Amino acid sequence: MLELFQGYQKQLLQTIIALAIILLIRFLLYKTIKRVGKMGELDPNRTRLIFKYFNFFISTVGIFIISIFWGVNIDDLGWFISSAFAVIGVAFFAVWSILSNVTAGIILFFSFPFKIGDRIRIQDKDFPTEGLIEDIRAFHIHIRSDEGELLTYPNNLLLQKGVAQISKAKKDDDGKDSI
């Protein structure tokens, strides 16, 4: 058993260092995303969702780097990744709207132009929408119209259309947003 550890001592050390760096980056990103969410007074669920996206990205890069430390041939890995991206690319092309909505959700998180409880009007000539934002999710937002209808509006259209903020969310006695 000792011979096994001595034979792979360099790879084990590199893996431990890589894991420590990945955990440090993950921790720093968590703090940054949490701070941005707090500054923008965003819903904690949105903050957790953005953290999951970045956590997935960091984990993927970490696995790639650690696999190189353990002697995976870069050419073979390149073939594997290019084949995987070809399959994933076809799948994403088939569901491009999902990808664009998730990307728009990330952009809306970091720019936080509006939040839950705000009253907005979407400047769309075909489907004008006005109401109170009840929820902001990864793919869409929920808007309660004056007639009581719950409208689901895709995030990518929020970036494409003009959005007028009619009023901001009201604060209750604790300083929290109330609808």
Q: Could you list the mean pLDDT of each consecutive 10-residue stretch along the chain, which spans 179 residues?
A: 77 92 92 86 80 88 86 78 81 73 81 84 86 87 92 87 83 54
Alpha helix locations (H) across 8-95? 9-39, 44-69, 74-94
- 168: which DSSP letter? P
**Prediction pTM value:** 0.51
The pLDDT tens digits of the residues spanning 147-175 come to: 999 999 888 888 888 888 888 877 655 55
The pLDDT tens digits of the residues spanning 9-20 come to: 888 899 999 999
With b for 16 or more beta-carbon neighbours within 10 A and e for fewer, the 133-148 pattern comes to bebbebebbbbbeeee
Topology of the domain covering 114-170: SH3 type barrels. (2.30.30)
Write out the residue limits of the CATH 2.30.30.520 domain(s) in the chain: 114-170
